[in-house]
């Protein structure tokens, strides 16, 4: 028995034991993990650069601008990425090219908003922020519109190619930002490195994706309407996701925002690995119904995942005091902020029910999940930031993530009939026949 056959035998037994396609998880998960490792290392390197080469005021202002760019990008139809992946799973690959054109067009709305902000800050004689938002107006449509190639690749389950492209973008952009910070650590230069770097790399990778994979001409007529629905669903969540930085900058200042960002940096990478990796792997399976949609096992997996996350949280709280001062000596006195924020890792198990609802295009449930959780987060952020400052932001974030978990479980429980598992015999046949997709 050769290595390939042994691998298939082991993964097949594990699949029957856990009722999950372990071959798919192993092969897809490997490449997603590689991408996340590179992303985490890049983010960690940049955090070190920001903490040691930039003043707290410059770094805090940069994080504020990036947060505002994220909010301004809502009109670029951020939900189109998920809609394209779903269309590609169904064989409508032409939706990819069509969605790029639509996204670029809607990006002009975001540019108009950024120009308006630039004018506001120029009127108030803040030339630094005026220049920052003028640069943003140029690059936002490109930054967002050229990024749809990864949605196409994930829909095709070409995880290795998607990861390779992602690594190229991460390394290139990180190098540009490091060079800019070393030679001229100003807000404008750091922004140019970030915005221009990602825009150029994404354009080149988009062209390569078109030329190499040559998507067919079949267009799902629902791809844009569904993308608009998802954008509307996610709009308040996007706002809630960036609101902490905007409120900190406005209420307290740039330096406290820098402290908050540095102490959150390690946790951000853990959250990204947990939510983005599993969601990318799970979405094509759920959308294509190639295996049971977890059914009653959703609660089973949420409880197990939450337990693992709780153990990770305990380990993080114990170990971070020995690691943090080595890389961020100027922020060593703020370690307890990151220890407190680590409690927000436990409810990240909410990505399991949310991904199932998202893949099945349950619009009503998705609206309810996103609007309720975003409203709760916005209200708590506004109250706790105003009354408690930086600590209030952290507490509000923790409460918001637990609220998301509870809402997700409630929605799945209420719609249990929509997640009927396959009969055992059918599930067994699918698991035995399943082969990992290779590009």
Stated as kind and residue range, the H or E segment containing 298 is helix 297-327
Question: What pLDDT is attached to residue 430?
Answer: 39
CB-CB contact of 39 with 170 (8 Å): yes
What is the C-alpha separation between 243 and 121, in angstroms, rounded?
A: 19
Tens-digit pLDDT profile for residues 281-335: 555 454 444 334 444 567 777 888 889 889 999 999 999 999 999 999 999 999 9
Count how many residues are written for the chain: 439
Round to the nearest angstrom and report the end-to-end CA distance of the chain: 25
Sequence-distant contacts of 37-45: CB under 8 A, at least 24 apart:
38/166, 38/167, 38/170, 38/171, 39/166, 39/170, 39/269, 39/272, 40/269, 40/272, 40/273, 42/170, 42/171, 42/173, 42/174, 43/265, 43/268, 43/269, 44/265, 44/266, 44/269, 44/327, 45/174, 45/178
C-alpha 205/C-alpha 165 separation (Å) is 7
| Burial class of 438 by CB neighbour count within 10 A (0 to 12, 13 to 18, 19+) | exposed
How many CB atoms lie under 10 A from the CB of residue 240? 22
- Residue 381 confidence (pLDDT): 95
Residues in the chain with pLDDT values less than 70: 1-32, 273-297, 358-362, 415-439
What are the pLDDT digits (tens) for 6-30?
545 654 554 554 444 545 554 545 6
pLDDT of residue 107: 94
Structure confidence at residue 275 (pLDDT): 64
CB 247 within 8 A of CB 377: no
For residue 349, the model assigns a pLDDT of 83
Place of tokens 């799973």: 89
Sequential DSSP letters for 197-248: HHHHHHHHHHHHHHHHH---S---TTHHHHHHHHHHHHHHHHHHHHHHHHHH
Query: What gap in Å lies between CA 103 and CA 148, rounded to an integer?
Result: 9
| pLDDT in the model for residue 427 | 37
């Amino acid at each position: 028995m050769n290595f390939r056959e042994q691998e298939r035998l082991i993964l097949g037994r594990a699949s029957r034991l856990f009722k999950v396609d372990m071959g798919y998880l192993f092969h897809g998960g490997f490449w997603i993990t590689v991408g996340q490792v590179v992303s985490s290392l890049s983010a960690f390197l940049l955090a070190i650069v920001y903490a040691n080469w930039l003043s707290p005021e410059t770094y805090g202002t940069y994080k504020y601008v990036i947060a505002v760019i994220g909010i301004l990008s809502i009109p670029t139809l951020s939900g189109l990425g998920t809609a394209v992946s779903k269309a590609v799973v169904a064989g409508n690959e032409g939706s990819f090219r069509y969605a790029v054109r639509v996204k670029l067009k809607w990006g002009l709305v975001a540019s108009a908003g950024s120009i308006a902000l630039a004018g506001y800050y120029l009127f108030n004689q803040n030339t630094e922020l005026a220049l920052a938002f003028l640069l943003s107006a140029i690059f936002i449509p490109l930054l967002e519109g050229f990024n749809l190639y990864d949605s196409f690749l994930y829909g095709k389950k070409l995880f290795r190619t998607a990861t390779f492209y992602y690594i190229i973008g991460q390394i290139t952009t990180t190098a540009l930002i490091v060079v800019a910070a070393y030679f001229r650590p100003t807000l404008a230069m750091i922004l140019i490195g970030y915005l221009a770097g990602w825009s150029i790399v994404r354009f080149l990778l988009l062209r390569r994706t078109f030329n190499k994979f040559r998507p067919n001409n079949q267009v799902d007529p629902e791809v844009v309407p569904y993308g608009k629905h998802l954008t509307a669903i996610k709009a308040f969540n996007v706002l809630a996701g960036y609101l902490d930085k905007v409120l900190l900058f406005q209420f307290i200042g740039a330096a406290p925002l820098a402290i908050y960002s540095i102490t959150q940096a390690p946790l951000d990478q853990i959250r990204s690995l947990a939510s983005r990796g599993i969601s990318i792997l799970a979405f094509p399976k759920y959308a294509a119904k190639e295996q049971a949609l977890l059914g009653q096992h959703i609660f089973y997996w949420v409880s197990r995942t939450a337990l693992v996350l709780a153990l990770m949280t305990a380990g993080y709280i114990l170990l971070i005091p020995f690691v943090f001062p080595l890389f961020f000596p100027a922020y060593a006195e703020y370690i307890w902020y990151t220890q407190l924020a680590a409690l927000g890792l436990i409810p990240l198990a909410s990505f399991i029910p949310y991904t199932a609802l998202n893949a099945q295009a349950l619009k009503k449930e998705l609206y309810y999940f996103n609007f309720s959780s975003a409203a709760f987060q916005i209200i708590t952020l506004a109250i706790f930031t105003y009354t408690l400052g930086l600590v209030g932001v952290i507490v509000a974030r923790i409460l918001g993530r637990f609220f998301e978990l509870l809402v997700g479980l409630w929605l799945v429980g209420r719609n249990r009939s929509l997640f009927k598992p396959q009969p055992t015999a059918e599930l067994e046949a699918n698991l035995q026949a399943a082969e990992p997709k290779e590009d």
